[in-house]
Structure 1
Amino acid sequence: MSVFLSNAVIAFLLAEFVLLVLMSISLFYVVRIVRSWDYNALTSLQYSLEKQNYLVNTILLFCVCIKIVLFIFFALCLNELSDIVPGAMCSAGVIGSNKFGGILMLTKILLIFGLGIWLVINKLDLQALNFPYLKKKYAIFICLFVMILLELCIEISFFYNIPLKVPVFCCSVTFQAPKLPFGYTNFGLVSVFYVLFFVILVLNFLKQSMTSFVANLLFLVLSYYAITYFFGLYVYEQPNHKCPYCMLKGDYFYVGYLIWGSLFLGVFYGLMPYLVEIITKTNYS
C-alpha cells in the first residue's frame, strides 16, 4: 500500500499541480511584462502589456487564495494519513515520520507569509494610478514561484517516504520531554508571553514598525511553546497531553484551526508594516 493511493493525497497533489501550471503560464507573461513595461509609453505594446497585467493579476490572486486554502487542506490530509501510518495518532506522527516533514512544514509557513505580503503589495499597486510597485511585486512572485516549485518537490519526497510498515513516534513521545526554551518554567513562559503581547500592542500604537517586526518574530516562536506546553493542556483537559497538532482534529472540534489561524494572522499583520515599508520605500500605516 502507498500513501499515493489516499484520496486526500491525490486530491491535494492534483490541486497543487494545477496551481503550479497556472502560475507557470502567468510566469511567462510576468517575465514579458517586467522586461518591456513602460507606463509612460503610448504604444500598442504597452497597451497590450497593461491588459495582460490585469489578466495575470486575476490568475495570481486566484492561485494565492487557493494556495492558502490548501494549507488547511494539507493539515486535514495529515490527519487522515494518521489513521494508516503505524504509531501515528495525529499529524505529529506523520510529520515526524521522515526527514522531509519538518522542512515541508517550515516551507509552507514561510510561503503563507510570503503570499500574504504579495497580496498586500498587489493591492497597493492596483490602488495607485501608475502601478508604482509592479516590477517589485512580480519580482516577489518569481521568488515565491521558485519556493512553490521547491515545495512541490519536497511534498512528493515527503509523501513517498512516509513509512507504512515501521511504527513512528507520535506526540506522546515527541512532545513529552520538557523542551521549553532558555530553561523556562510554564509560569515563566506564560509571563513572558503576556508581557511580549502587551509590548507588541504598545509598539503598534506608537507605529514602531521595525521594533514591532522583531517583537512579532519572537512572539511567534514563543507562542508555539506557550500553546503546545501550556494553553493546549486546557484544550485537551489533560495535564500530560502536549501536542500542537491534536487540537486540529474533530475530537476537539477543530479548535486548533482557530488558535493557530488567529496566531498566524495576528503575527502577519504585525510583520507586514515593516516589510511593506522596505519594499515600497514609503511609510505604511
Structure 2
Amino acid sequence: MNIVAPEQIIIYFIDLIFIFFSVIFLKTSITMIRRFDFNSSTTFQYTLEKKNTLISAIVSFLILLKLPLIFFFLYLLDSLSSSIPGAMCAVGVLNSTPYGAYLIILKVTILFVLGYWFYINKFDLQTYGFKYTKLKYRLLIFITLLIILEFLLEINLFNNISPEKIVSCCGSVFGGELRQFSTFLINIENSLSVLAIIVVFVVMTLAFMFKKYRLYGFTVFFFLLTAIYSLIDFFSTYIYELPTHRCPFCILQRDYNHIGYVLYFLLFFGTFYGSNLLVLSNITSEKTKRVWINISYAMCLIYILIVSFYVLKYYIGNGVWLTD
C-alpha cells in the first residue's frame, strides 16, 4: 500500500471504520429483513428492536464522519498536485489512473445514498410499527458494497501515484475543442451550457413556486449535471479571469479564496435535498417536503448568484466578455 501523504492515513482509517461496522451490520441486516416482525411479542423480536435502535445511532454517527470526508479528500488531492510532474491541481492526481473520475462520482453517490438512509431511518423510528425497517436494511447492504468498492478504488488511485510519472494538467484535460476528463467527454459550447442551466433553473423555479415536489425532485438531477458542465465550460473562466482555464478543481485553491468548497457545498446539498422530494416522496409528510424544497431552492439560488457574480464582476471591471 502506497502512502503518499499523512492525510491519506486519516482517510483510510475512517473508511476502515465504515467497512468494519458495515460488515458487522451485514448479518444483522439480513436477520432484520427476514425475521423482523413488529406484531410479534417474542424475546427475539424485542432484541431485534433494541439492535435496530443501536444500529441506527451508530450509522447516523458514522454519516457525520463521512460528510466532511469528501471535501477533505478533495483537499488532499489538491495538495498532492505539487509533488506530481505535470499536475496543477487535483485533476492531474485523478488522471494518474483511469479510475479517478469514477471514484469522485462514487463518493458523491455514497454521500447521497447515505443521506437517503439517514432520513429513511429517521422516519422509520418515528413511525408506529417501524414501517421502513426492512427498506433501510436493504439499503444498508447496498451502501456496504459501495463503501467496499470505494475503498478498493482509493487504494488503486494512491498506489498508482508516482512522483516520477508525468500526468496531464487541467489545461490539457479541459482545454481545446474537445475536453476530456478520463473517459468522460465534455464538448459543449459555452452558450449552450449556460442556456441549459438557465432553462433547468427556470423549470426548478416554476416547480418551486407551484410546489410540484416530484417535478422539482426530478429536475434537480439535471440541475446538478448542467451546473457542473457550465461551471467547467463557462463560469470557471470568469473565476480565473482566463478564457482558456477551465477546471472544476483549481477553484478549491487559496488563490481563488477556496470558493470551490462553497460552490460544491451549495450544489451537492442543494441537489440532495431536492432529490429527496423524488426519492423519498412516498414516505414523508407535506411539512417536511416544504422544508426540503425551501432548503434546496435557497442553496441552488445562492449557487447561481455566486457564479453569476463573477461574470458580472469581470464585465463591469473590464467592459468586455471573456472570449476564447
- With normalisation by structure 1, the TM-score equals 0.91
Q: Distance in 2 between matches of 1:205 and 1:141?
A: 35
Deviation at 1:23, TM superposition (A): 2.0
Kindly provide the CA deviation profile for residues 239-269 of structure 1, in whole angstroms up to 9, marking residues without a partner as x. Answer: 2221000111222221101101111111112
* Greater mean deviation of Cα atoms: 54-63 or 170-179: 170-179
Q: Where does residue 120 of structure 1 map in the other structure?
A: 119
- Contact 2:237/2:244 (8 A) holds in 1: yes
What residue identity is the alignment partner of 1:244?
P
- Distance in 2 separating the partners of 1:26 and 1:69: 23
Alignment partner, residue 151 of structure 2: 152
Deviation digits for residues 210-246 of structure 1, max 9, x if unmatched? 4334422222111111111222122222222210001
Match of 1:6 in 2: 5
In structure 1, C-alpha distance between the alignment counterparts of 2:208 and 2:30, rounded to whole Å? 37
1:80 maps to amino acid: S
Shift, 1:3, TM fit: 4.8
Aligned partners of 2:187, 2:103: CA distance in 1, in Å?
28
The yes-or-no answer on 1:215 pairing with 2:214 is no
Whole-Å separation in 1 of the counterparts to 2:187 and 2:252: 28
Aligned residue identity for 1:134? T
Change (3 A) 1:205 1:121: farther
Work out whether 1:169 is the aligned partner of 2:173: no
Which residue identity lines up with residue 270 of structure 2 in the other structure? G
- The equivalent residue for 1:67 is 66
Query: Is 1:142 equivalent to 2:146 in the alignment?
Result: no
Identity of aligned residues (%): 33
Q: Which one-letter code corresponds to 2:209 in the other structure?
A: F
8 A contact 1:23–1:63 mirrored in 2 = no
Match of 1:241 in 2: 245
Say whether 1:196 aligns with 2:179. Answer: no
Structure 1 portions without partners, runs of 5+: none
Query: Offset at 1:141?
Result: 1.0
Distance 1:135 1:89 in 2: 47
1:88-99 paired onto structure 2 within 5 Å? 88-99=87-98
The 8 Å contact of residues 118 and 137 in structure 1, kept in 2 or not, is answered as yes
Match in the other structure for 1:267: 271
| Counterpart Cα distance in 2 of 1:261 and 1:34 | 35
Alignment of 1:13-32 (within 5 A): 13-32=12-31
TM-score by length of 2: 0.81
- Distance across 2 between alignment mates of 1:205 and 1:145: 38
The answer to whether the Cα contact below 8 Å between 1:94 and 1:162 also exists between their aligned partners in 2 is yes
Structure 1 residues 281 and 54: alpha-carbon distance in aligned structure 2, compared to 1, 3 A threshold? closer
Give aligned pairs, total: 283
Letter in 1 for 2:42: T
**Matches of 1:30 and 1:182 in 2, distance apart?**
41
Identify if the C-alpha distance between structure 1 residues 241 and 183 changes in structure 2 by more than 3 Å, giving closer, same or farther: closer
Shift of 1:183: 6.8
* Partner residue, 2:313: none
Q: In the alignment, residue 221 of structure 1 is paired with which amino acid?
A: L
**1:154-194: CA deviations, max 9, x gaps?**
11111111232121001111111245899753233223312
Task: Tell whether the 8 Å contact from 1:26 to 1:59 is kept in structure 2 after alignment.
Answer: no
* Matched residue, 2:32: 33
Give the secondary-structure state (helix, strand or coil) at the position aligned to 2:245: coil
After superposition, the CA RMSD in angstroms is 2.2
- Map of 1:87 onto structure 2: 86
Q: Quote the residue 2:130 is aligned against.
A: 131
- Which of structure 1's runs of 4+ aligned residues deviate more than 6 A? 180-183, 281-284
SS of 2:82's partner is: coil
Residue 230 in 1 paired to residue 234 in 2? yes
1:206 pairs with 2:210? yes
